[in-house]
Amino acid sequence: MVALRRNKNSEKTMKRGASQWAVAWRRFKKHKSGLFGLGMVIVLLAIAALHTVIAPYPARPAPDSFKPLYEGEAAQPPSWKHPFGTSVMGTDVYSEVIHGSVYTVYVAVTVTLITMLIAVSVGIVSGYLGSYVDDVLMRITEIFLVFPSLLFILVFARLYQLRNPEPFWNIFGINVPAGLTMVIVILSIFSWASYARVIRGEVLRMKETEYIQAAKSLGASSRWIMLRHVLPNTLSQIIVLGTLTMAVAVLLEAAVSFLGFGDPNTITWGRLMEEGLQDLSTVWWVEMFPGLAVFLTVLAFNLVGDGLSDALNPRLRE
């Protein structure tokens, strides 16, 4: 009898220690706004995946074909036929926003991947190896931190615009927009620095923990420790930072395009807003709906990020 009871109690402890990810997911599930954000992200992904099916009109044949696409229906306010209205060129804004979602997803994912790849490598190597490697890497990071990044992003983007390269790269049969990809690379180059510092701090803290010391005393190599111990343990931090990077990336790309420095060959949401700005007083819907799409997307990523950070760092929660 007594023995039975004891078992029950130890079972409880076991379940608690089973998997930190399961625990985090359970905590995230309780986070209403985080779940809501996740729902929005899923909707965005679905729209991007099915954009050719959902959009009532096809994408523009060429970005600067100023021939009205849908004759006689230019500059129409929102209606049942054109939920977001039509532009002065006669394009259906609703369809264009739907087609643009693909680029948004592309920007969010690739900027985050590149940024995190640089930030994580620099952060872990710098924090774990220390000494002169750390010195050199941190000096470089500092330089990137003081760079007036938006200005440089604009100059770089302009450089690429004027060099007028081929508009698309054909990679495995998929047309990848070259200009947008360059903007993505430029954004990534100018956003990894602060994240690298955060991750380095985390690694420094972890380096002092007993299990890393133990691994070291057992003769594990630096590379092994970094890959098998340090990386997995910074993962929760990386995931949170990554989600926030997605939000920032979408916002920045939209801003760059809005200012006229985007890829002239891709109709992103920011680009739609740039096109409509001159006629703001007459066709407000051309500005309103793409901007709303940017806002909701960024909001979704930020909500997920907040939810994740609460779920993965329970210390901050009561």
Partner 1 sequence: MNILDVQNLKTHFFTEAGVVKALEDISFTVEKGCTVGLVGESGSGKSVTAQSVLRIVPKPGKIIGGKILFDGEDLLAKKEDDMRKFRGKKISLIFQDPTSSLNPLFAIGDQLADIVIQHDRVKKDQALEQVIKTLKVARLPDPEQSLGQYPHQFSGGMKQRICIARALLLNPQLLFADEPTTNLDVTIQAQIITLLKDLQRDLGMTLVMITHDMGIVAEMCKCVVVLYAGHVMESGDIETIFEKPHPYTEALLKAVPRLDQTRKLTSIPGNIPNLIDPPSGCVFHPRCQYAINICMEKVPPLEDVGGSHFITCHRWRELQGGR
Partner 2 sequence: MGLGKYIARRAIYMVPLIIGISIVAFLVMYAAGDPIQLATAGNPSITEAQRNALREYYGLNDPIPMQYVRWLDHFVHADFGKSLYGGRPVNEIISTLFWETIKLQLVSILLAFLISLPAGIYSALKQRSATDYTISSIAIFGISVPVFWLGIVLILVFSFQLGWLPSAGAHGAPYLWPVFGIRNETLDELVHLVLPATVLTLAGLAYNVRLLRAGMLDVLRQDYIMAARASGISERKILYKYALKNAITPLITLLGISIGYMIAGAPITETVFSWPGLGRAYVAATLRLDFPLIMGITMIITIMILVANLITDMAYAWIDPRISIE
Residues 163-202 contacting partner 2, CB under 8 A: 163
The residue within the footprint of partner 1, chosen from 11, 18, 30, 221 (CB under 8 A), is 30
Map the footprint of partner 1 across residues 174-233, applying CB under 8 A: none
Closest CA to 161 of 186, 125, 196: 186
- Write out the E strands in 94-177: 168-171, 174-177
What part of residues 288-317 is at the interface with partner 1 (CB under 8 A)?
Answer: 317
292 binding partner (options partner 1, partner 2, none; Cβ < 5 to 8 Å by kind) = partner 2
- Kindly state the smallest distance separating residue 27's Cβ from partner 1, in Å: 8
Using the rule CB under 8 A, give the single segment among 15-23, 123-131, 172-180, 273-281 that binds partner 2. 273-281
Phi-psi region of 266 (alpha: psi -120 to 50; beta: other; left: phi over 0): beta
Place of tokens 């394009």: 91
DSSP 8-state symbol, 219? T
- 177 DSSP β-pair partners: 168
* 125-142 burial code (b ≥16 CB/10 A, e <16): bbbbeeeeebeebbeebe
> Quick one: which segment of 5-13, 62-70, 73-81, 290-298 binds partner 1 (CB under 8 A)?
5-13
Element (H, E) at 35: helix 32-49
Q: Is 30 in the site for partner 2 (CB under 8 A)?
A: no
- Contact with partner 1 (CB under 8 A) among 2, 146, 162, 218: 2
For position 280 contacting partner 2 by CB under 8 A, the verdict is: yes
Q: Give the distance from CA 160 to its chain's centroid.
A: 22
Cβ contacts of 215-220, under 8 Å, gap ≥ 24: none
Pairing of strands 168-171, 174-177: antiparallel
6 binds partner 1 (CB under 8 A): yes
In one-letter notation, the amino acid at residue 137 is L
Q: Using CB under 8 A, which of the segments 10-18, 95-103, 201-209, 251-259 binds partner 2?
A: 251-259
Name the site residues for partner 1 (rule: CB under 8 A). 1-2, 5-6, 9-10, 12-13, 30, 317-318
Name the site residues for partner 2 (rule: CB under 8 A). 33, 143, 146-152, 154-156, 158-159, 162-163, 247, 251, 254-255, 258-261, 273, 277, 280-281, 284, 287-288, 291-292, 294-295, 298-299, 302-303, 306, 316, 318
